[in-house]
């Protein structure tokens, strides 16, 4: 890989906000590729992510209810655990059915301007990428194009931290990311306050 120029503080701010768990799929593209609207692909994304969102809400509600039960309700807890396992299988099926192929939930730094994630693939600076990002637990699917602004090795795992600045993203998708990040930050702060009490 060629020598990399250090990324600027502004570029860092573009993607570094707070930790979020998301699914990420990416492919390298040529510099001249643009994010053309694809109505059929958009319909497919909406259908698949709507199903995933419903399943995710069911899993979350079941888990919350199960945790609220007393120990004498063991049979009910066992049933809810079973239902959750079946719902997770349905999530896997939807991923396969719609060819989403998201295999790993990643902890990333995310903002409306970019993303930083870990990957097996080393990247050149300015390499253009097309990314699909699924925001969890809402299962909202974002399609975006951007450029690599930083690539640093993670010596512990023989992987790389890749930072991407978003260049082509719809305002609707950017708003969805900003709302997701704000919600995530609020939940993290609430969790910290509760642990301090």
- CATH number of the domain encompassing residue 185: 2.40.10.220
Give the domain extent around 21: 9-196
Q: Count structural domains, the chain.
A: 1
Mean local confidence (pLDDT), 145-160: 90
Q: pTM of this prediction? A: 0.63
Summarised one tens digit per residue, pLDDT across range 69-112 is 766 577 777 777 788 777 777 776 766 665 555 656 788 999 99
Confirm whether 2 is domain-assigned.
Answer: no
Confirm whether 1 is domain-assigned.
Answer: no
Annotate 25-42 with DSSP letters as a single string.
EEEEE-TT------HHHH
Confirm whether 4 is domain-assigned.
Answer: no
140 touches 53 (CB < 8 A): yes
More confident residue, 164 or 10: 164
Confirm whether 20 is domain-assigned.
Answer: yes
Helical H segments across 69-115, by residue range: 74-97
Confirm whether 65 is domain-assigned.
Answer: yes
Confirm whether 3 is domain-assigned.
Answer: no
- The tokens describing 66, both together, are 């199960």
In whole angstroms, give the CA distance from residue 171 to residue 63.
Answer: 33
In whole angstroms, give the CA distance from residue 84 to residue 115.
Answer: 30
């Amino acid at each position: 890989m060629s020598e990399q120029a250090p990324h600027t503080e502004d570029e860092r701010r573009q993607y570094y906000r707070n930790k979020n768990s998301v699914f990420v799929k990416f492919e390298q593209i040529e510099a001249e590729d643009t994010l053309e609207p694809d109505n059929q692909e958009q319909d497919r994304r909406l259908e698949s992510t709507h199903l995933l969102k419903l399943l995710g809400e069911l899993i979350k509600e079941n888990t919350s209810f199960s945790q609220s039960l007393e120990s004498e309700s063991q049979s009910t807890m066992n049933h809810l655990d079973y239902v959750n396992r079946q719902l997770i299988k349905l999530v896997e099926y939807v991923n396969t059915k719609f060819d989403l192929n998201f295999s790993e939930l990643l902890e990333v730094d995310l903002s409306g301007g970019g993303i930083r994630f870990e990957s097996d693939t080393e990247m050149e600076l300015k390499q253009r990428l097309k990314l699909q990002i699924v925001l969890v637990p809402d299962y909202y699917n974002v399609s975006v194009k951007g450029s690599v602004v930083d690539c640093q090795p993670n010596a512990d795992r023989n992987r790389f931290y890749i930072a991407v600045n978003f260049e082509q993203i719809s305002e609707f998708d950017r708003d969805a990311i900003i709302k997701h990040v704000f919600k995530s930050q609020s939940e993290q702060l609430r969790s910290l306050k509760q642990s301090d009490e």
